[in-house]
Amino acid sequence: MDHDKSNGKKKFAGFDEMIASAKRDNIRAVLIHHPAVLGDTYEELVMNLDKLATAQLLLHIVPPKERK
């Protein structure tokens, strides 16, 4: 089980850093280009949404037609 948690930490290191950076810079919202950034499973999605809520950050997702 610890192996899975370790992989999860590595997998979302960039996401976690984005949250930390936003908080450090007093930014109120984050922008992601693809919803898949939030996770591959329902559990990952909920976990990452909870991280955003805990950090009191708003989430914006680029609409599909505007993605490159």
Give residue-wise pLDDT tens across range 34-58.
Answer: 999 999 999 999 999 999 999 999 9
Lowest mean pLDDT among 9-13, 46-50, 57-61: 9-13
Dist. CA 32–CA 15, nearest whole Å: 10
Q: How many domains does the chain have?
A: 1
The model's pTM: 0.79
Q: Which of 47, 36, 42, 50 is nearest to 8 (CA)?
A: 47
pLDDT at residue 5, rounded to an integer: 53
The pair of structure tokens assigned to 7 is 């992989």
Residue 46: which domain range?
2-66
Check: CB of residue 57 under 8 Å from CB of residue 23.
yes
The three-point CA angle 23-42-11 to 5° equals: 55
